[in-house]
Amino acid sequence: MGWRRADEALAEHIEAAGATCELRPMRLGATRRLQRSMAMTDVVQALAARRAASGLQARAVVYSSITAALLQPPRRPHAVRFDTIAALSRPGAGGAWQRRRERSVLARADLLLPWSEAAGAAALRAAGAAGVGGIGDAGARGGSPGATGAGPRTVVLPCVVDAARKAAPDAPDATAYAANPEKRRLELLCAAWAASAPEGARLVVGGIDRADARRWLSRQGVDEPPGVEFGGAIPRDRWTALVAGSRVYVSAARYEDWGVAQMEALAAGVPLVTVPTPGPNVALPLARELAPRLVAADSTVAALAESLRGGLGLDGAARAVYAAAARRLLEPYSDAALRKVVADEVVPALLRRA
């Protein structure tokens, strides 16, 4: 969902800058059944992206993930946009060919568009270059522009972070997302909720239905706690309204490529309760700046439960202060801010090379 929104927003911003843009979605079809391992998943998706780009007639091309660029023929100029790189997200034997291949993919790109400074720095290291700054040429939060030194030019271009305009009247006390229960550590989330939630409190978990959640919890030896509702695939408008009306958003993720759901919660002014999730996780430093005690000391049930109690116990005044500060921190991720980056830097950089 986050990537689709990022692609749509980028296309809108390119057109607002005076260029035309066509989105080419990839279709997996019957090959979807072959996605039984990390290595095969990336092969299937890379081939689908190559088919989608077949016959392109464009002055410039943007691949919206490194996977989409892995098996593409040479095209100039082109940019690669990504939230993380295989060197970080594809450890072990299952990511060996992707890690090898991405080095040349990153090195030959005319422009890199990482979602975060951390992802950009990792990409330049993988490509044999160095130096990445903040969002846009002016930088953000003290960053400096583009790449400094050898390697492709780099512009940090995260996805637009949208917040619901109106909270759902039936919003729960807490919201969380667990479409991938292993990555999102659903068992840790549920155990911490059971240990901390007041009687009658509600937690809505999006992205996974009750049957799949119960199977996962059973395998992990964790009971389904009271007050938890597994909502499955909740429509986006409904989901953002539930998040906006909740008292806290909770994350127990094992690894975070960027943190779309957490950032959307912060944009809505909702306190973020989280474990110290590693990865190019832009939400984590913001959460620590806003309320350090809501970031668990470690990824244990006891630590997350303690932070959850703190978040659920915030009074109205504290929540208002948190919300105002969070919205200020999220201003660089607004539609207007990123529209300017695309117009001032991304489109000119690509078309100058066309």
pTM for this prediction? 0.84
pLDDT of 133 reads 52
40 and 69 share one domain: yes
Do 321 and 202 lie in one domain? The reply is yes
pLDDT at res. 37: 85
- Looking at every residue in the chain, the average pLDDT score rounds to 90
Q: What are the φ and ψ backbone dihedral angles of 171, each rounded to 5 degrees? A: -60, 145
283-290 helix and 260-267 helix, angle to the nearest 10 degrees:
40
Is 244:270 a contact under the CB 8 Å cutoff?
yes
Q: How far is the C-alpha of 287 from the C-alpha of 295, rounded, in Å?
A: 7
Query: Is 120 in the same domain as 30?
Result: yes
Looking at residue 28, what is its pLDDT?
86
Confidence bin at 43 (pLDDT 50/70/90) = very high
Q: How buried is residue 157: exposed, middle or buried, by Cβ count under 10 Å (0-12/13-18/19+)?
A: buried
Q: Are residues 226 and 289 in the same domain?
A: yes
Do 181 and 67 sit in the same domain of this protein?
no
- Clarify whether residues 228 and 270 are in a common domain: yes
Q: Which pLDDT does position 344 carry in this prediction?
A: 97
Instruction: Find the mean pLDDT for residues 103-121.
Output: 93
- 132 with 28, same domain: the answer is yes
pLDDT at 94 over 90: no
Q: For the chain, how many structural domains are there in total? A: 2
Q: What is the torsion angle, in degrees rounded to the nearest 10, for the CA atoms of residue 130, residue 134, residue 137 and residue 142?
A: -110
Give the per-residue pLDDT at 257: 87
Q: Looking at the structure, tell me whether residues 85 and 127 fall in a common domain.
A: yes
Q: Could you give the percent of the chain with pLDDT greater than 70?
A: 93
HSE-CB for 27 with a 13 A CA cutoff = 6
pLDDT of residue 136 exceeding 70, the answer is no
With bands split at pLDDT 50, 70 and 90, how would you rate the model's confidence at 128? confident
**pLDDT number for residue 141:** 34
Structure token pair of residue 232: 């499955």
Same domain for 277 and 155: no
What mean pLDDT is predicted for residues 140-167?
67
pLDDT-derived band at 4 (thresholds 50, 70, 90) equals: confident
CATH number (domain holding residue 123):
3.40.50
The answer to whether 101 and 113 have CB atoms below 8 angstroms apart is: no
Let me know if residue 202 belongs to a domain: yes
Same domain, 285 and 136: no
Q: Residue 269: its pLDDT value, please?
A: 95
Q: By residue range, what is the domain housing residue 259?
A: 174-332
Domain membership of residue 68 (yes or no) is yes
Task: With respect to residue 169, please indicate whether it lies within any of the assigned structural domains.
Answer: no
- Together in a domain, 310 and 323: yes
pLDDT at 105: 94
CB 66, CB 82: distance < 8 Å? yes
| 244 inside domain | yes
Q: Which residue has the higher pLDDT, 354 or 177?
A: 177
Q: Which of 59-68, 137-146, 326-335 has the lowest mean pLDDT?
A: 137-146
Chain segment 156-192, per-residue pLDDT in tens? 999 999 877 789 999 999 999 999 999 999 999 999 9
> What value does the mean pLDDT take over residues 214-240?
95
Query: Is 209 in the same domain as 110?
Result: no
Mean pLDDT value of segment 58-74 = 95
- Give 29 or 185, the one with higher predicted confidence: 185
**Residue 334 in tokens:** 């607004």
Contact predicate 87/118, CB 8 Å = no
User: What was the pLDDT predicted at 151?
Assistant: 66
